[in-house]
Structure 1
Amino acid sequence: MKYKTLPVALIQERAIIDQGAGNADANLTLIEQRVAEAARQGAKLVLLQEIHNGPYFCQHESVDEFDLAEPIPGPSTDRLGKLAQQHGVVLVSSLFERRAAGLYHNTAVVHEADGSMAGKYRKMHIPDDPGFYEKFYFTPGDLGFEPIDTSVGRLGVLVCWDQWYPEAARLMALAGAEVLLYPTAIGFDPDDDQAEKNRQRDAWVITHRGHAVANGLPVLSCNRVGHEPSPLGASGVDFWGNSHVLGPQGEFLAEAGSEPEILMAEVDMQRSEDVRRIWPFLRDRRIDAYDDLLKRYRD
């Protein structure tokens, strides 16, 4: 472990959605500016939000949106790798991957501080809900829950909908992840009343705090912000932001609001050892009694 205390930055942004075919270039230019600023503030690990190259296109089902996908490695990974190298940061990005004709993934890519690609993770859990029609676009990941080794530590990278599944966080922890990271795109239906909006946002935060506590690990979750209209003429999505950095007891180290922000925090990378000694959840797991977890449901 290189850093006892790791300076991190989460780039919480409002997507540029009015540039037509230039969406990716405009958003990557904005990301370059934000990463440069984060590096000036001392960040060594930078996390971007889910599908950061443009709007959240999964609000509808259209074959034309597949034109946004690109290979990995490809133009965006080349540009992001150079960005990581320029500023000496480990950079976690989120891209629409074209693996082959008709085969696409929602893929997080980790760029090492020297510009090389340290690894990638393909989103395993794919939602299909009103306004979040991801099953039309994304094939479930096939790389498993494998942490990615970097110069700042072993990163357990997961993506958005994965955040609701304790099994995903646990498997990353069992494979030696030292920190859990979630690029995400989650928000309200603008037509919901405020009480429902609060319940949804609180549930999202509680889930991440639970992963931190249950696994004794810091958690970084980076969400997008701003209203994005629906191509179907529906109400669209108000992405709520509230990106956050948690310690291994679920404590808030930093939390963003609902506007664009570079969220900075210092993560004590040795604290997990201390926490796991007083809360030895991995020691006390009854692995002899968990076979039914492999069932869809216990009838």
Structure 2
Amino acid sequence: FGVSICYDMWFPETTRTLTAMGAEVILHPTMTTTIDRELELTIARAAAITNQCFFVDINGVGDGGVGRSIVVGPAGDVIHEAGRQEELIPIEIDLARVRRSREFGIRGLGQPLKSFRDSRVHFDVYDLDSERRAYLHSLGPLIRPDRGSRAGLDPLDSPAGQTAPQPVPQPAPQPATEPAAQPATPNQGELT
């Protein structure tokens, strides 16, 4: 579990850092009384999808907020959205959904945490080589899903007759090349 508070949700690095450390559920208490609640609900869904986690965004009511708390699953599905009144939200969170999503991809496709981990672009803020990010390395290889694969949609066992997805090959470094020289003036007969 990871906790971010109120305005933290507007900074994706907060949630990404928590999930890179292994959080499968982000608890996000807030007391939003402003007109941007609809935007925050969109951010909650996006955070759940891009981090393959449950995102539980709890907002106050009355003087403490405009309500509309939301629970989002790792594929961005809204499990529950509360109204503007005080409400008890009894839900059961299946952590196996997070693990399947992270192993096989969202709906058998998107693997943002593995793609982030394997990116050639280095973001100092995330310090991927840190021992604190060991969780990302435990996810296994980035896999290209087979066409028609139901990986991540079915229980952990692969359906009969399906082949296992194959790791995504890492491209070989390409030497830098100079762009071809362009003529300084148009050739005879060319339109400019």
Under a length normalisation based on structure 1, what TM-score does the superposition of the two structures give?
Answer: 0.38
Mapped to 2, the partners of 1:183 and 1:227 lie a distance apart of: 15
1:242 aligns with 2:71: no
Mapped to 2, the partners of 1:269 and 1:243 lie a distance apart of: 20
- Write the letter of the residue equivalent to 1:205: L
Mapped to 1, the partners of 2:66 and 2:40 lie a distance apart of: 11
Q: Which residue of 1 aligns with 2:46?
A: 210
Pick from 281, 290, 297 the counterpart of residue 112 of structure 2. Answer: 281
Deviations 1:185-241 (A, max 9, x none): 1112xxxxxxxx3xx12110011111100011011111101136xxxxxxxxxx211
Deviations 1:42-84 (A, max 9, x none): xxxxxxxxxxxxxxxxxxxxxxxxxxxxxxxxxxxxxxxxxxx
Alignment of 1:1-299 (within 5 A): 155-188=1-34, 197=35, 200-227=36-63, 239-276=65-102, 277-278=104-105, 279-285=110-116, 287-291=119-123
Mapped to 2, the partners of 1:291 and 1:219 lie a distance apart of: 24
- Write the letter of the residue equivalent to 2:47: H
Displacement of 1:257 after TM fit?
0.6
Larger Rg: 2
Displacement of 1:268 after TM fit?
1.4
- Write the letter of the residue equivalent to 1:255: E
Structure 2 unaligned runs (5+)? 127-192
Structure 1 unaligned runs (5+)? 1-154, 189-196, 229-238, 295-299
Greater relative contact order, per chain length (Cα 8 Å cut-off, separation 6+): 1
CA RMSD of aligned residues (A): 1.8
Higher strand share: 1
Provide the identity percentage. 32
Deviations 1:162-186 (A, max 9, x none): 1111100000000011211011111
Q: Which residue of 2 aligns with 1:44?
A: none
Mapped to 2, the partners of 1:257 and 1:204 lie a distance apart of: 15
Alpha carbons of structure 1 residues 292 and 174: separation in structure 2 relative to 1, 3 Å:
closer
Alpha carbons of structure 1 residues 288 and 269: separation in structure 2 relative to 1, 3 Å:
same
Mapped to 2, the partners of 1:204 and 1:282 lie a distance apart of: 22
Runs of 4+ aligned structure 1 residues displaced above 6 Å come to: none
Displacement of 1:293 after TM fit?
5.8
Displacement of 1:159 after TM fit?
0.9
Q: Which residue of 2 aligns with 1:15?
A: none
Contact kept in structure 1, 2:19 and 2:51, CA below 8 Å:
yes
- Write the letter of the residue equivalent to 1:177: A
1:245 alignment partner, SS class: strand
Q: Which residue of 1 aligns with 2:137?
A: none
Contact kept in structure 2, 1:254 and 1:264, CA below 8 Å:
no
1:291 alignment partner, SS class: coil
Mapped to 1, the partners of 2:83 and 2:16 lie a distance apart of: 28
Q: Which residue of 2 aligns with 1:33?
A: none
- Write the letter of the residue equivalent to 2:51: N
Displacement of 1:250 after TM fit?
1.3
2:76 alignment partner, SS class: coil
